[in-house]
Amino acid sequence: MKTFHARKEDVEKKWYLVDAEGRVLGRLAAEVAKILRGKHKPIFSPHVDTGDFVIVVNAQKIKLTGNKLKNKVYYRHSGYPGGLKATTAEKLLTKKPEELIKRAVKGMLPKNRLGRKIFKKLKVYAGPDHPHQAQQPEPLEV
């Protein structure tokens, strides 16, 4: 018997809707990354994008446990000398709540071309509304 390897023609993409209200950031991100990657499907192949699209709504109502809201720091660099910028999770949650979830999920995906392609299937919105009604996303309880 030969080993089965999925091809992109074999993969059927679905759309899922996840409500982040009251959910813990890391646990939500792990489940979303699993769906994006396609690990929940029996045809999963590590070198093929077998995952589905995920829409996350209510990103502003996500929870962080412990003192992470004040102590967790996100860094970015401008590329210039002395250009290190630091932002706490609390500031990021008030200014760009979508970015908090995107960063958590991106860290759980492969760091290569396939990972960048998979990451584009994640859609995050701060409020309860999203423009993807035409795709008929099915609610996912994670």
Q: Is 121 part of a structural domain of the chain?
A: no
Mean pLDDT estimate for the chain = 95
Q: Is 73 part of a structural domain of the chain?
A: no
At 48-61, the pLDDT tens digits run 999 999 999 999 99
Domain count, the chain: 1
Question: CA 3, CA 54: separation in Å to the nearest integer?
Answer: 29
At 70-103, the pLDDT tens digits run 999 999 999 999 999 999 999 999 999 999 999 9
| Phi, psi torsion values for 129, nearest 5 degrees | -100, 150
137 in Cβ contact with 131 (< 8 Å): no
Q: Is 124 part of a structural domain of the chain?
A: no
Rounded to two decimals, the pTM is: 0.93
Q: Is 59 part of a structural domain of the chain?
A: yes
Q: Is 111 part of a structural domain of the chain?
A: no
pLDDT value of residue 1: 82
Q: Is 97 part of a structural domain of the chain?
A: yes
Q: Is 49 part of a structural domain of the chain?
A: yes
| CATH number reported for the structural domain that contains residue 24 in this entry | 3.90.1180.10
**What share of the chain in percent tops pLDDT 90?**
92
Residue 138 has pLDDT above 90, yes or no: yes
pLDDT value of residue 87: 96
3-state secondary structure (DSSP) of residue 141: coil
Helices (H), 1-142: 25-37, 68-71, 89-95, 97-106, 113-119
- Residue 52: which domain range? 1-8+16-65+92-102+132-142
At 95-131, the pLDDT tens digits run 999 999 999 999 999 999 999 999 999 999 999 999 9
pLDDT value of residue 141: 85
